[in-house]
Chains A and B, each alone.
Chain A
């Protein structure tokens, strides 16, 4: 019982110790690959012809275009992006139900950058013990020197991080030149400043606080995990009772605190599953190292499934990993994920390079011309996704006799600029004696044909005659 417990808790500093092992190596590789992808991608070139940008991955917000290698997405095709986001969500569900918070532990930017920042910290200030001493030391010149060096390196990484982000949104080499000569748009500097600040603060100082207090994912993940989910755990039945001194009835845990000292979240995995655990698996490496040294089998801390506990307590072998992973939930997530993936790939292959939409002008529905003909007006939006200008030939087909005219032109050919769309007003006319002029409405189909390639597209609409209700 404490009378004066504060309502607000100070942040407890964490000094993760260096560790080596299988999972640490895996995490170094993942860090190298993910950071490499992030920093290098905007600089990859991809030739699309003279009228289009040559950046492999480009989100052109001003031009309303998204370029990804050979794929170009227009605003009306945003469902591709929506589909990818749904796939990302389902993928997260799948991995969480199979392997727990594997996203948090290995791939989340917060984890990756924090890992990088801790690496820098260790280079400059030394390993755990040195850092604890430095933390407690007075602010001498030595401490200032180490701290400032660390902060400057962090800041450089942060600027590179914020800087890389803006390169995805405009031509990277041009923007870099503009940034250096102070000619870039204020939005670019503002974005870099904001992302530099968040990287610096989140990676350097907030660290585990982001995961525990700011991120919603730790609170949601419980819904995707069950007894078969493989997650980082402590074989309590093997380790307990823990004791530093080896006696006959003590467990394998020698209470060396290696698992606690390496934990970037500052928790003790032996307390069981907890919200703070991001399953980075560094405690597994730390404990395996100790088990090797004291001649005990590895795996006191390990990827475990809760459902295996009874068998393991009874000294039997756990279920094979594959049996844990293959279960209705994961199969369903995989099926949904693949379904959307196949759908998107299919949609990608069937989409046309030329396209049109038709808006019938219904104010008024029709007009009478001086010779008694009936005319309807339509606004066609013609899209040319090619990297060069194309000539579109407009025509229509219908069961009745109808004529098509293009506003301001004698021919039926409209030129559309490269990678753009144009609106064209067209008129459809029925002679007074023909059925279409008299009846309520007549179905018709507009066609566009690329004069060069012969590629065609159509849209259905209808023609309103005099008898329009």
Chain B
């Protein structure tokens, strides 16, 4: 067993690493010492410094724009690629060679995630990398920084030799999870586990609270984790119960993938202000000034949200040339403006029956990220609590509104940098309180405080200990049920695709480290050998009743379709000489947390791995 347990938060905007040294930790895991690794990174040309987090930003130099040696790292010379603080600065200058938010692309089924597509819309072909490769690059940087500081040349202490828990959004589907693991394996990691970020936040709260946490929660508690990161919004419901006289934690439900986060907020404020400037004064900002404005809006946001007594925050964008005063554009962000942009735009008051606006169905879609069409995080929350009400009712009937319409948590854990702002936490708590009042329930309380920048990494490092039997673990299994699409026998109608039925292959709650076989007479799957066979692949976060082999009608409400999965049976057999082969299906959720699907040929028992197609299916 490795000496350290490691937690890595591979965030959309920032990456962090926390660890526990099992040799110095006391036997009581609840007093475990979780430490974070200050990460070496280039901070300016030719200078390296340690920072608590590593911006998940990559810059790939063309060759001449930085002086020789500017990107060197303490452990090796580097001429081309820089990751972290300085990459961000260079990216503001040369956006076509700058890759950021790559994690948001990792779960974008509409693009080939293993093809060099980032930065998007950049003409610089040599600077392009795949979303999966960028994840591997960032992980490699972490490994190098760790080894340089802590391994001292001992291979047993190298980061890749430690037990590593890598966090992913709870809403990541099987494809994105598998890609993340593949990227980590490519970076050399051997002992890997995946953990959902909201769970990591709760672990971090347990770790930060110490043994006292058992007094601050009680059986019957329903904990809502609201995790608004740089790029994604992630909800989870975790139930506290008593089993064999001890507290037990079970993750009941996770939210859908909502591409909406702190970065969107800074941009919203900046675009709002620049629009005002253009309208009122006819000032048009260039790209460089715009990025300066976004930076200032971030500062203005933090300052105004942290100091409720401030009425406004002055914003000045200094002139582009050497005339500082002459060229300065002055404006200010008034509190009312911030409230309008943030509280009303992203956290609008709403009722439990409100729903986020549905995506518009447009004929064309820009080849960009599929951002959530509705920025109202509270409306997404209303939907989340409503679609999981039925499930909550089974274990916590008193936490569901009398009409059964929505579930109400007893406690809330906040995670993500934007929640440093008390007004945003308050807005969520007040909204939940109002919904509770409507249902005759008490308002939820906020559970303690955690380090909002490092909680996910810390919680993941703590879980490493728990996995060794030295701490509590949240159980939950697969947050989604998975299906393959089966075309139903129906008369062909021109222009109407044959309706498909979804056959469950992975039930909701399937535990890690287990597998399930789907076969027998009821299921008649037959594929031709020697040619690719593709299955349509779907998942649901809400259908919990389906058992493996069950068939369901596909509705847009309940199902999400992913890229198809495919395999080739009878490798080596000549094309055209194919024969029909009867197959059963086998689904395995590995200890690591990745999903493996395979076809098993009935006659021979041979297993054929079904590959998640990361390529664009072309029929969105």
Q: Do A and B come from one complex?
A: no
Q: Which B residues form the contact surface with A (CB < 8 A)?
A: none
Q: Which A residues form the contact surface with B (CB < 8 A)?
A: none
